[in-house]
Amino acid sequence: MVHNGIEYGLMEIIAETYDLMKRGMGLTDEDLETIYTQWAAGDTNSYLLEITARIFAEVDQKTGRKLINVILDEAKQKGTGKWTSQSAMDLQIPVPTIDAAVAMRDLSAFKEVRGAVSKIYENKIGRVREGRDTFLPRLRNAYYSAALITYAQGMALLRTASQTYAYHLDLEEIARIWRGGCIIRAAVLEDLRAAYRTNSDLANLLLDPELSARLKERVKDLRLVVQEAAFTGVPAPALAASLAYFDGYRSAWLPANLIQAQRDYFGAHTYERTDEKGIFHTVWEKG
Ligand code: 3PG
């Protein structure tokens, strides 16, 4: 199930890069075939990128057009992504990229409403402000970063599920099995295996020294790509959620103190203090 949840996340991330290149940059299907073929080599190699490149080459027998352009833009699902998100919520493990992927499949199904809303807001997609030679390597790095962060979410879920339900999962072995042959097989799984070989109880892949060094090099491009998506109006919630997950974990401080204060204000739900152990409640000055 978690394999499929990661699969949903990776597919949505690839779809968002497609949208940025198609509507944001005006690239052709031939360009996309070439670019995804390049991405499918080297350290971004994955089965999903390989098939994506081939998809852009396929010609429809009925119309002679590229098949991709006659496929209806409504994603279906059999539910394993949703199930992953539900299980993650139950275990209180954040998997925001997978959540975003499920939400976008759901949203895609509202094609008629999307058509009506697009007329009201005259959605003209802006052009990516950087040239092809600068933006395409950036987008590849953004893909690498977001994909790695998606694996991190899925593995963190498996780790907690294993602890909670006494599954005794061997995460290195899981990465090895996935590397061997499945829809989410990818070169980066070798690095995941190495990370779990070094520390079989790694709390989050973001902590691994090798992976964090790679992420540090590339995550700035994820940030710039998310900025560009917001600027152009290309919806990219899985890329944005991956970045927010990274930024959240990178924050030694988060504004959750305000949430605790609000909870205590309106519901006397109490809070803990930074300078003293215990549970506290304040009788707040109410204006
Ligand atoms: C798979 O083949 O991995 C899954 O069945 C795909 O699931 P979906 O139909 O929900 O996309």
pLDDT tens figures, 218-260: 999 999 999 999 999 999 999 999 999 999 999 999 999 999 9
Whether the per-residue pLDDT at 287 is higher than 80: the answer is no
Q: Which ligand 1 atom is the nearest neighbour of the CA of 11?
A: 11
Give the mean model confidence (pLDDT) for residues 17-21.
98
pLDDT bucket at 148, cuts 50 / 70 / 90: very high
CA of 21 to the centre of ligand 1 (A): 25
Mutate to test the pocket of ligand 1, among 7, 47, 51, 85 (most ligand atoms within 8 A of CB): 7
CA of 35 to the centre of ligand 1 (A): 25
Mean pLDDT rounded to a whole number for the chain: 97
pLDDT given for residue 181 in this prediction: 85
Q: Which ligand 1 atom is the nearest neighbour of the CA of 3?
A: 3
The owner of tokens 């493990």 is 93
Distance CA 158, CA 154 (A): 6
CB 155 within 8 A of CB 205: yes
- List the residue whose alpha carbon is closest to atom 1 of ligand 1: 4
Distance of alpha carbon 162 from the chain centroid: 22
Distance CA 148, CA 242 (A): 9
Q: Per residue in 53-105, pLDDT tens? A: 999 999 999 999 999 999 999 999 999 999 999 999 999 999 999 999 999 99
CA of 146 to the centre of ligand 1 (A): 21
Q: Read out DSSP for 220-284?
A: HHHHHHHHHHHHHT---HHHHHHHHHHHHHH-SS-THHHHHHHHHHHH---B--SSS-S-B----
Find all residues with CB under 8 Å of 222, minimum gap 6, and list them.
141, 142, 145, 146, 239, 242, 243, 246
pLDDT given for residue 180 in this prediction: 87
pLDDT given for residue 130 in this prediction: 97
Q: Read out DSSP for 155-180?
A: HHHHHHHHHHHT----HHHHHHHHHH
The more confidently predicted of residues 287 and 4 is 4
Distance CA 57, CA 7 (A): 22
**Would you state the structure tokens that stand for residue 12, as one six-digit string?**
């949505």
pLDDT bucket at 286, cuts 50 / 70 / 90: confident
pLDDT given for residue 154 in this prediction: 98
CA of 106 to the centre of ligand 1 (A): 14
pLDDT given for residue 195 in this prediction: 98
| Residue 45 CB-half CA count within 13 A | 10
